[in-house]
């Protein structure tokens, strides 16, 4: 599946099938995670058959998650968003369900970390039914009630190229904590930047996710890391 198709198909899933992930999928995920870790310096890990971290939560049957481990600075948080979402879209292409999550039992979570690293958050992952359960649809509906549209997440000074709007539409499909969509993309006489207020939890994660979605929607380009980072057209 092309990454663009995965981006259009993805929705957060909160009910998983009560069965293990196939060894084949686990191997493909581990390979993709290893590649992203090598590029980013993150320490993401696929944890399988661990049922306690989501026990008693609104999620059902979570047995697997990706532990988003890395250093404790803002650029690392942003990289967690960017590279974690790459894995989310890869997993969508494998037919797996995913959901970023900041609410889980940290004490029960299984992961390795070096001295200077922390567990930022996790991504629940696993086999799902094609169709959302009624309960999942209700939660998803509630989380989208206050969704912000094109105008709320963009600022234009002068003209914006057509691919800027394809980038924006891809950002509108990005997951974000509480669906707040806190990232503003500005186009100032052709110079594109992405920024957040940086005042709420997980905004740097949302920034990294939004940057990846913009890049995919715009069909190329690279981002400078950081709040207010510039999009480099290539």
Ligand X SMILES: Cc1cc2nc3c(=O)[nH]c(=O)nc-3n(C[C@H](O)[C@H](O)[C@H](O)COP(=O)(O)O)c2cc1C
- Is residue 103 a contact point for ligand X (CB under 6 A)? yes
> Nearest distance from residue 188's CB to ligand X, in Å?
27
- Residues 34-73: x/- map of binding to ligand X (CB under 6 A)? ----------------------------------------
Residue 133 contacts ligand X per CB under 6 A: no
Three-state secondary-structure class, residue 16: coil
Secondary element (H or E) of residue 230: strand 229-232
Of 109, 97, 12, 13, whose CA–CA distance to 54 is shortest? 109
Nearest residue (CB) to ligand X, 87 versus 205:
205
Please provide the size of the chain in residues. 234
146 binding ligand X? (CB under 6 A): no
User: Helices (DSSP H) in the chain: which residue ranges?
Assistant: 3-9, 23-40, 74-93, 134-143, 150-153, 162-172, 203-217
Tokens 């198909």 correspond to 9
Cβ of residue 225: shortest distance to ligand X, in angstroms? 17
Nearest residue (CB) to ligand X, 14 versus 43: 14
CB–CB of 217/164 below 8 Å? no
Q: Which of 128, 206, 210, 215 binds ligand X (CB under 6 A)?
A: 206
> Where on the chain is the footprint of ligand X (CB under 6 A)?
11-12, 14, 99-103, 140, 143, 175-179, 202, 205-206, 209
């Amino acid at each position: 599946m092309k990454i663009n198709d995965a981006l259009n198909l993805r929705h957060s899933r909160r009910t998983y099938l009560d069965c293990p992930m196939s060894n084949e999928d686990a191997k493909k995920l581990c390979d993709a995670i290893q590649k992203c870790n090598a590029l980013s310096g993150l320490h993401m890990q696929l944890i399988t058959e661990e049922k306690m971290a989501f026990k008693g939560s609104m999620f059902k049957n979570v047995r697997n998650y990706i532990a988003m481990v890395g250093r404790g600075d803002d650029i690392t948080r942003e990289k967690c968003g960017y590279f974690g979402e790459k894995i989310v879209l890869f997993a969508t292409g494998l037919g797996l369900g995913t959901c970023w999550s900041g609410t889980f039992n940290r004490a029960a979570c299984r992961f390795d970390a070096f001295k200077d690293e922390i567990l930022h958050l996790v991504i629940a992952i696993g086999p799902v039914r094609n169709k959302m359960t009624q309960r999942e649809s209700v939660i998803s509906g509630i989380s989208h009630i206050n969704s912000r549209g094109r105008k709320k997440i963009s600022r234009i000074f002068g003209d914006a190229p057509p691919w800027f709007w394809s980038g924006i539409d891809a950002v509108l499909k990005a997951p974000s904590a509480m669906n707040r969509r806190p990232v503003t993309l500005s186009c100032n006489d052709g110079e594109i930047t992405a920024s957040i207020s940086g005042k709420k939890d997980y905004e740097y994660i949302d920034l990294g996710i939004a940057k990846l979605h913009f890049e995919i929607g715009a069909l190329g380009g690279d981002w400078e890391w950081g709040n207010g980072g510039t999009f480099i057209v290539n």
